[in-house]
Chain A
């Protein structure tokens, strides 16, 4: 167990130390220390905000299902009413942005992530949480913030200096789960084709080609998301690019996505997809990946979310529960790299019931409650103590083609998982543009030119 703790703790820390590449302009630093004076001097009382009511916006995710049954307990214990609104990812982020920008606080709390929070915190739309966490009058005595994996927690910190300062400054969010990226494969299909699980991206191409000859009918060798949105370059393809030493910005703070290495990795990625994915692969989002893999039509999911395992392993939702294995994300010429995605919760600056909102937020992110959500499918845990829970360990240990396989892969992933991009409120736009260039190269083959044109657009977006 001891090893797991350090391993999870290492997430993201690697990149938190990067930065220093651009001085950036400071915008509107957080004033005062909100939350620090709330009920000052009194003892913690869960019913202190009795009778108030809060609204929370959630994005559809297993976390939400795991949370729902727990709400009545909270309402009974605190006398606070919690209204949940659940939207799918696309609609939810649009709605949230509209609400936050109007500054009226329809949503007191919401699900978010570092990438989006760079936008929200830069705009001053969300509440720094340090004052709340440190205030004993409103935070339960055994909350223990130090129990969070430091890297995961610190991904919620940013000093709001453009392109630097991640992990420094105010805490804008508390994490509820994280995911990283791995290989998910079908042992039976690999056996039939006589291939081994790939360990490098070159291997992936070889394996894909072998699988292509052995698979028949409506089955395909490989699936991965390939839409033209930021998640491609931020997460899946992003992991691969990182392992080829390709970065959005180089050490001198210049946009560096049109380098030779970038062209090489882009072409290889496209070759893999062309060799082993259906012709409509360019429209695949993670929905298609999860659904396609679970339906048994694919032999290998490349660089996809490890927490999909919870669905794959569930008999009711998956055809492959008895025939699925996991492996570490492949290695590139520079290193093995995996992006990290962290779902977090934040509080709107415009919230009218911050006391009640915080009461819910600290309850929900407390060790006990998070543990209950993990057991109900909210993966992967963000508190170190969760990994010591025998029940959770027993559940996860059954996943994979042999006992402990998923867990082992997860531990390996955690050592390298990191946020590989510098914070900037317009990063989604920049990453969208990069993804567009990757996809365009899939259609026209002019990789170098497409990347160059994207690089110059991104320069305008991030470095005006």
Chain B
């Protein structure tokens, strides 16, 4: 009796969870496949003739993102890939050595440094963006990939340092000692011996940092211009003069979620591992 009740309870809870998580996604997917009259129809339509027009419009359309030019959204996608990808690479380049230096108490006050890095993750973006806007203008790196990659370090560096440091703590000490006996200095130890061991850790740090960077709206809203506008800002262009282009927005949203989805499918294990930020393994 008890197990049947438990099973029913589980069934209800699981279904509830599935509906809550999936319904909005399914609904927006359906919306992306509707033509305009189906989108604004009331009562809402669950059955309709699907069309790929919205996707074509987003990717190739001349009237796509508002009055944006042909294929402008593809440029936004490319911009996002370059900015988030660049930001993650830079963070790895400076963050992995830093995490190494900060692990195992190699440096006095390592915990303080580590906390300082993490606290950036909690800083309101505007605290940095408002002053950076003026400085970027003066340095002429406003609306450049470089400027955006630098500003996205606020998001990516803390994640990289903290997650990588977690994994470093688990590297067997013997490996490092063996490397030192072989005559490796700190850099040699890190690059030749330790880094290959913590590859999963680096992967999960990179994934999480990429997703958070990709998802960010505020940085792009202020610090990007027509040359570097990311997808998150591009989607806002669905709001036009005479209508909100719901179908266009839905299709753009679906496309914007693709990189994340791909990552999720291939690298989910690492994703979850990185999320725990070193509380446990």
Residues of A within 8 A of B (CB): 60-62, 64-65, 68, 83, 85-88, 90-91, 94-95, 98, 102-104, 106, 218, 287, 290-291, 294-295, 311, 317
Contacts and interface: CB of A to CB of B under 8 A. Distances in A.
Contacts of B134: 102
Contacts of A106: 137, 142-143, 225
Interface in B229-253: 233, 236-237, 239-244
B89 to A, nearest CB: 28
A98 B242 contact: no
B239 to A, nearest CB: 5
Given A98-B133, A106-B143, A88 B242 contact: no
3 closest A-B pairs by CB: A102-B137, A60-B241, A104-B137
Contact of B236 (A65, A91, A98, A294): A91
Nearest to B233: A91
A62 B67 CA distance: 10
Nearest to B225: A106
A88 B237 contact: yes
A287 B133 contact: no
Contacts of B236: 88, 91
B68 interface: yes
A311 B67 contact: no
9 contacts: A60-B241, A64-B241, A65-B67, A85-B225, A88-B66, A98-B133, A102-B133, A104-B137, A287-B244
B222 A98 contact: yes
Nearest to A55: B226
Contact of A64 (B40, B67, B221, B237): B67
A88 B42 CA distance: 27
Contact of B67 (A60, A91, A95): A60
Nearest to A104: B137
A88 B67 CA distance: 10
Interface in B173-189: none
Contacts of A290: 242-243
A399 to B, nearest CB: 16
A60 B137 contact: no
Interface in B199-243: 221-222, 225-226, 233, 236-237, 239-243
A85 B72 CA distance: 12
A396 B255 CA distance: 42
Given A61-B241, A104-B142, A287-B244, 6 more contacts: A60-B66, A60-B240, A62-B241, A91-B236, A98-B133, A106-B137
Size bracket, chain B contacts: 20 to 34
A88 B234 CA distance: 11
A311 B226 contact: no
Nearest to A68: B67
B242 A86 contact: no
Contacts of B42: 218
Residue from B40, B137, B138, B241 having most chain A Cβ neighbours under 10 A: B241
B45 to A, nearest CB: 14
A287 B243 contact: yes
A85 to B, nearest CB: 5
Contacts of A65: 67
B244 A291 contact: yes
A98 B68 CA distance: 22
B227 to A, nearest CB: 10
A125 B42 CA distance: 47
A287 B238 CA distance: 12
A424 to B, nearest CB: 24
Contacts of B222: 98
Interface in B116-146: 133-134, 137-138, 142-143
Nearest to A58: B67
Contacts of A91: 221, 233, 236
Nearest to B67: A86
B240 A85 contact: no
Interface string B47-77: 0000000000000000000111000000000
A445 to B, nearest CB: 30
Contacts of A87: 237
Nearest to B66: A60
A94 B217 CA distance: 15
Contact of A85 (B133, B142, B226, B239): B226
B108 to A, nearest CB: 41
Interface string B240-270: 1111100000000000000000000000000
A103 B134 CA distance: 9
A96 to B, nearest CB: 12
Contacts of A86: 66-68
Contact of A317 (B40, B225, B242): B242
Given A64-B67, A83-B226, A106-B143, A88 B40 contact: no
Contacts of A90: 239
Nearest to A62: B241
Nearest to B240: A60
B65 to A, nearest CB: 9
Residue from A61, A86, A294 with most neighbouring chain B CB atoms (10 Å): A86
B22 to A, nearest CB: 26
A64 B68 CA distance: 11
A414 B8 CA distance: 70
Nearest to B43: A218
